[in-house]
Chains A and B, each alone.
Chain A
């Protein structure tokens, strides 16, 4: 005991001589997330620097304003998490972020980062400004096997079967679909249904080519009809946070939940086994496409050349194979490079990896739409999912929201 204390003391005394401290802000605070971020910190500390953890509780919506105001307010951190996409775009354009192009070239990011769209999301005017760390896709349906076994029903294999079996689940006094109250969760559920119901072509026409005629057209009317049906299944779901909703599925009080693959971490922490205790259906089992959202680290410009070196070391490390494996296994997310071995992954992650390797991927909402459009859609979707708003009204408003971002 004494000895360990002594060595710990020695370590802390000895460190500052060499180590450069970098404060890293992120919003990974749930059980599985914290375990994953500890892997990043361990690797960074092991290489001689010091990771100062700046976790911000309350999710991205709470954390991002704090991060942005610190960067624009002249109190930048060493590194910070953002989602892939446009969230930090204006900060980059304003010259507040460190250019990582030399790190990327030295470590051959252009070759190893897969899919390449992730690196494109980091690139502004040909320069690279962020280090992608993982891929998260929101288009997953999570099912409790026990709920269906108790009712002598087969576990649904796609969204249509799920909807068909829902009345029986409801009769048994259970909630067919768990849905948290926060706006982004309604928007996520709708986003997942977009690809599943409207199909890939319509999805691409609207979200990539920004074709507003398709957005207002019959394919998307079907999506809104499906969502209006789904909201009936979610009636009576009185939880706030996504992990509380996931917990309803874990404890077999709810049949299923539409949530991103980060929900897997919660199942894992609860000791559940994929395939026997729970089932995961990417693309809601209809169209097995996943969008490549996820997280990247950005490095605000600091005046200290020593810290800048440390920032670049961290950037290189985040993309390195060892860190990618250790981090993503804990996080339940997919790695951002295709050349590493994830044989330790569980069934659900393997499904994701297969889809990824097969190239059935689309850009994430944050990549194709500005935060402003995303927020308006969140507000619309939470109103739509939690009230009796007619599908046609929501559809019209949704098209208008998209138009505001053209």
Chain B
């Protein structure tokens, strides 16, 4: 895979000679065959297998006893699934907006030729090196009313201070959001910073000559120029949101109140393995695949289809 995408720029920059396309870079293409085959068999094959079996009534072991759309009908009548979707939409929108806005603002601040930029960048990016499980456990402790922030503030004398988002069904998603933002914002900042560094210095000079205020230059000139970076960021963040699982497991295991922080991936796991109902789990994961595709297809279209850029 990687070899073929690396070959891509070569084709677009040099004059295209379509007849020799297949034989050009033949060694690179041969080298890519195992990876392509793996991708086809594991990813595409596995996906198709899952979708096909989502139309069966497989229980613990897969069986080809087709029941049409029964699994999907049951899925969309299940309140836990509906709640999962609602939770994910709320978390997704909040997380998307906040990571992108905060990531961009941090990147802009970083880009002001400040001292110790490397140090700050490292600090901001560090949380991204932690898995969601570790992030979740750490934040579960920080937000724990006995040992965490609430406990510390109360020990300092404010005995009526209450900060316990994870044990309240109305606020638990914000608790998750705090941990998610802490983990993901640094990464978005780095993507944005790379985008900002890619902007030609002359643009800034021209803007300064024209007397455009800095903030306006960012909003009107720089952000539109960073379109590609924004789209890539959106896709990475959005696909990360849809498969949200480990953070929830580590922080709340879907609670409090049973399903206040349930997410679709937990439903898939629980029904595939705990309920021993593969068909139902496959139907739910097919719905998740659909939502990933809804995110990916417009992106692929913008990036590869339509007008060629670069």
Contact = CB atoms under 8 A, between A and B. Distances in A.
Contacts of B259: 379, 382-383
Interface in B37-86: 59-61, 74, 78-80
Contact of B258 (A65, A87, A379, A397): A379
B274 interface: yes
Given A90-B59, A383-B259, A68 B79 contact: no
A12 B16 CA distance: 71
A375 B274 contact: yes
Q: Interface residue tally of chain B, by bracket?
A: 20 to 34
Interface stretch (B122-130, B199-207, B249-257, B283-291): B249-257
Contacts of B59: 90, 370, 372
A383 B169 CA distance: 12
A382 B259 CA distance: 8
A397 B77 CA distance: 10
Interface centre among B78, B80, B258, B269 (most CB of A within 10 A): B258
Interface string A66-103: 00110010000000000000010111001000000000
A181 B257 contact: yes
Interface string A357-380: 000000000000011101110010
Contacts, number: 74
Interface string A183-212: 100100000000000000000000000000
A64 interface: yes
A7 interface: no
A43 to B, nearest CB: 31
B257 A69 contact: no
A386 interface: yes
B268 to A, nearest CB: 12
A372 B280 contact: yes
A64 B77 CA distance: 27
A238 interface: yes
Contacts of B256: 181, 238, 386
B274 A61 contact: yes
Interface string B160-174: 000000010100000
B277 interface: yes
A235 to B, nearest CB: 11
A64 B257 contact: no
B258 A386 contact: yes
Nearest to B273: A65
B75 to A, nearest CB: 12
A375 B60 CA distance: 13
Contacts of A108: none
A404 B274 contact: no
A183 B270 CA distance: 12
B33 interface: no
Contacts of B169: 386
A69 to B, nearest CB: 7
Contacts of B273: 64-65, 68-69
Interface of A, secondary structure class, is helix
A27 interface: no
B299 to A, nearest CB: 33
A375 B276 CA distance: 9
B60 A383 contact: no
Contact of B61 (A94, A183, A386): A94
A404 B74 contact: yes
A107 interface: no
Interface in B78-99: 78-80
Contacts of B257: 181, 382-383, 386-387
A65 B271 CA distance: 10
A385 interface: yes
A89 B270 CA distance: 18
A395 B67 CA distance: 27
Interface centre among B59, B74, B275, B280 (most CB of A within 10 A): B275
Given A240-B253, A240-B255, A385-B258, A90 B275 contact: no
Interface in B208-261: 253, 255-259
Interface string A154-181: 0000000000000000000000000001
B275 A375 contact: yes
Interface centre among B61, B79, B274 (most CB of A within 10 A): B274
Contacts of B275: 371-372, 374-376
Contacts of A87: 276
Nearest to B62: A72
A197 B36 CA distance: 62
Contacts of B74: 404
Given A90-B59, A90-B60, A91-B60, A375 B255 contact: no
A183 B80 CA distance: 12
Contact of A372 (B61, B79, B277): B277
Nearest to A184: B274
Contacts of A182: 253, 255
27 contacts: A64-B274, A65-B273, A69-B273, A87-B276, A89-B60, A94-B61, A181-B256, A181-B257, A181-B258, A240-B255, A370-B59, A371-B274, A371-B275, A372-B59, A372-B276, A372-B277, A372-B280, A375-B271, A375-B274, A379-B78, A379-B258, A382-B258, A382-B259, A383-B258, A387-B257, A387-B258, A397-B79
Interface of B: 59-61, 74, 78-80, 167, 169, 253, 255-259, 269-277, 280
Given A68-B60, A372-B277, A379-B258, 12 more contacts: A68-B273, A91-B60, A182-B255, A238-B167, A238-B256, A370-B276, A372-B275, A379-B80, A379-B259, A382-B259, A385-B258, A386-B258
